[in-house]
């Protein structure tokens, strides 16, 4: 049977309940996937030896185009299908510099001569890095056209970079013949992270490489949640399912204050290196919060009790204060907390902070009218609100042979195309 000439891949955003930043130092974080907020990538076969990337969500009006022959093969470790040895190359300054040059050349060769900013350049570098690393020259595809669509806010703390990285890793592993579409339709559940040959683990490993290009020193939690989905606990690269908080409802408020995870993580690192005697105990205290939350959810509380559990709720405030002391807070986040507190709701920043999104736990005993009022209040000052639960599918894949590029681009609800498959 011939392989599809088009694939559609999707991956979810994520929300961190407890433990961001501390997780970079090996501490435990609790997080979940955001099934309704996803990135979708459409891969279409080419036969002219070119790679085309379309990044409309990052504000690029015209495609970027490169001949495959321009890729920096000598600087990445290519893969042999025979012995199945996928070796990631070290992501160093030299590699990043040559990727950047190739991205800018691809843009310069474009007759539209558009400006390309740092965010667009990094996103394109990720694509070229993955293609060069994974190409084994046995594919029937002689190039690909890639279109990205997403309903995730970019750079707001909800893991947009990880969803993008996971989609690209999945699609390119498929296109370049390393994995095939899974058979499962609707199955959601466990995964075996220790099985190194599993397609999901392969995807997660390559998405982690992509995240290193975007973030510098990521913990790996964002790409793991986008890959495997669910509600999880994550520490030192190892993930466990923690399904007990999947029915909790949250309000996510995007303050729309632009920030950059790479810079925020680097700033915490500088503080850590300068004042370890202050920062290390803060990280330990954050670990204590994640552990306490796990203890509460493992102690047999029903979801309802968890929702009303004062101790669990106070952990949200404690975690927020500790993050503020790592200097990743922002006045816009305090404003959301202040408005939520008027209705006795508790909030914390989520993701890297410095603006971005705020997470508010919606307790069952808070009337819907109050929630509406909070949302109105927040939107009236320019913030954006989403009500959400955590959990749901990680990577989803669709044989898109019968879907045209136009249908993909004009679809209001890409999730509704039928036939999505999942690995877990």
Ligand X SMILES: Nc1ncnc2c1ncn2[C@@H]1O[C@H](COP(=O)(O)OP(=O)(O)OP(=O)(O)O)[C@@H](O)[C@H]1O
Ligand Y SMILES: C[C@@](O)(CCO)CC(=O)[O-]
Minimum CB separation of residue 126 from ligand Y in Å reads 15
Torsion of CA 34, 182, 241, 337, to 10 degrees: -10
Q: Binding pattern to ligand Y, positions 338-357, x when CB under 6 A? A: -------------xx-----
User: Among this protein's residues, is 317 annotated catalytic?
Assistant: no
Minimum CB separation of residue 23 from ligand Y in Å reads 5
Which range binds ligand X by CB under 6 A, 102-110, 117-125, 190-198, 232-240?
Answer: 117-125
Does 219 bind ligand Y (CB under 6 A)? Our answer is yes
Among 11, 24, 55, 179, binds ligand X (CB under 6 A): 55
Does 252 bind ligand Y (CB under 6 A)? Our answer is no
User: Among this protein's residues, is 222 annotated catalytic?
Assistant: yes
SS3 for the chain, per residue? CCCCCEEEEEEEEEEEEECCCHHHHCCCEEEEEEEEEEEEEEEEECCCCEEEEECHHHCCCCCEEEEHHHCCHHHCCCCECCCCECCCCCCCHHHHHHHHHHHHHHHHCCCCCCCCCHHHHHHHHHHHHHHHHHCCCCCCCCEEEEEEEECCCCCCCCCHHHHHHHHHHHHHHHHCCCCCCCCCCCCCCCCCCCCCCCHHHHHHHHHHHHHHHHHCCCCCHHHHHHHHCCEEEEECCEEEECHHHCCCEEEEEECCCCCCHHHHHHHHHHHHHHCHHHHHHHHHHHHHHHHHHHHHHHCCCCHHHHHHCHHHHHHHHHHHHHHHHCCCCCHHHHHHHHHHHCCCCCEEEECCCCCCEEEEEECCCCCHHHHHHHHHHHHHCCCEEEEEECECCCCEEEECCCCCHHHHHHCCCHHHCCCCEECC
- What are the tokens at 299? 């102690």
Pick between residue 158 and residue 172 the one whose CB is nearest to ligand X.
158
Pick between residue 30 and residue 158 the one whose CB is nearest to ligand X.
158
Pick between residue 199 and residue 218 the one whose CB is nearest to ligand Y.
218
- What are the tokens at 2? 């011939």
155 binds, among ligand Y, ligand X, none (CB under 5 to 8 A by kind): ligand X
Q: Which of 33, 35, 165, 222 is catalytic?
A: 222
Q: Binding pattern to ligand Y, positions 11-50, x when CB under 6 A? A: -----x---xx-xx--------------------------
Site for ligand X in 142-171 (CB under 6 A): 148, 150, 154-162, 164
For 249, counting Cβ atoms within 10 Å of its Cβ (0-12 exposed, 13-18 middle, 19+ buried), the class is: middle
Minimum CB separation of residue 20 from ligand Y in Å reads 4
Pick between residue 32 and residue 157 the one whose CB is nearest to ligand X.
157
Pick between residue 39 and residue 133 the one whose CB is nearest to ligand X.
39
Pick between residue 139 and residue 253 the one whose CB is nearest to ligand X.
253
Minimum CB separation of residue 268 from ligand X in Å reads 12
Among 68, 242, 265, 395, binds ligand Y (CB under 6 A): 265
Q: Which of 33, 98, 150, 161 is catalytic?
A: 161
Q: Binding pattern to ligand X, positions 239-278, x when CB under 6 A? A: ---------------------xx-----------------
Pick between residue 79 and residue 122 the one whose CB is nearest to ligand X.
122
List of residues contacting ligand X (CB under 6 A): 39, 55, 57-58, 119, 122-123, 148, 150, 154-162, 164, 214-215, 222, 260-261, 351-352
List of residues contacting ligand Y (CB under 6 A): 16, 20-21, 23-24, 159, 215, 218-219, 221-222, 261, 265, 351-352
């Amino acid at each position: 049977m011939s392989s599809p000439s088009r694939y559609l891949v999707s991956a979810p955003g994520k929300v961190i309940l407890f433990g961001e930043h501390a997780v970079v130092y090996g501490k435990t974080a609790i997080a979940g996937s955001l099934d309704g907020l996803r990135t979708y990538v459409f891969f279409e076969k080419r036969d002219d030896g070119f790679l085309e990337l379309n990044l409309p969500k990052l504000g690029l009006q015209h495609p970027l185009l490169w001949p495959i022959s321009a890729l920096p093969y000598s600087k990445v470790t290519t893969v042999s299908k025979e012995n199945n040895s996928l070796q990631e190359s070290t992501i160093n300054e030299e590699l990043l510099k040559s990727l950047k040059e190739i991205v800018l050349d691809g843009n310069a060769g474009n007759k539209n001569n558009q400006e390309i900013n740092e965010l667009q350049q990094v996103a394109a570098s990720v694509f070229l890095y993955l293609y060069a690393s994974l190409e084994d020259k046995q594919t029937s595809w002689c190039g690909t056209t890639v279109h990205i669509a997403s309903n995730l806010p970019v750079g707001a703390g909800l893991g947009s970079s990880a969803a993008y990285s996971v989609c690209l890793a999945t699609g390119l592993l498929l296109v370049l013949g390393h994995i095939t579409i899974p058979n499962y339709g609707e199955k959601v559940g466990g995964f075996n992270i220790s099985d190194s040959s599993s397609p999901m683990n392969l995807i997660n490993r390559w998405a982690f490489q992509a995240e290193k290009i975007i973030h510098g020193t990521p913990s790996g939690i964002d790409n793991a949640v986008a890959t495997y989905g669910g509600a999880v606990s994550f520490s030192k690269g190892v993930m466990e399912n923690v399904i007990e908080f999947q029915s909790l409802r949250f309000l996510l408020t995007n303050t729309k204050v632009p920030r950059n995870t790479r810079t925020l993580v680097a700033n915490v690192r500088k503080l850590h290196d300068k004042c370890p005697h202050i920062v290390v105990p803060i990280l330990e205290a954050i670990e204590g919060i994640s552990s306490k939350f796990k203890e509460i959810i493992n102690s047999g509380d029903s979801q309802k009790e968890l929702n009303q559990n004062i101790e669990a709720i106070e952990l949200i405030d404690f975690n927020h204060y500790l993050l503020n002391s790592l200097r990743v807070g922002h006045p816009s986040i305090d404003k959301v907390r202040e408005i939520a507190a008027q209705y006795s709701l508790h909030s914390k920043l989520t993701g890297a902070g410095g603006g971005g999104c705020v997470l508010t736990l919606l307790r069952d005993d808070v009337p819907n009218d109050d929630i509406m009022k909070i949302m109105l209040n927040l939107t009236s000052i320019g913030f954006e609100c989403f009500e959400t639960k955590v959990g749901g599918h990680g990577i989803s894949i669709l044989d898109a042979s019968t879907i045209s590029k136009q249908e993909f681009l004009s679809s209001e609800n890409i999730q509704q195309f039928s036939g999505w498959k999942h690995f877990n």
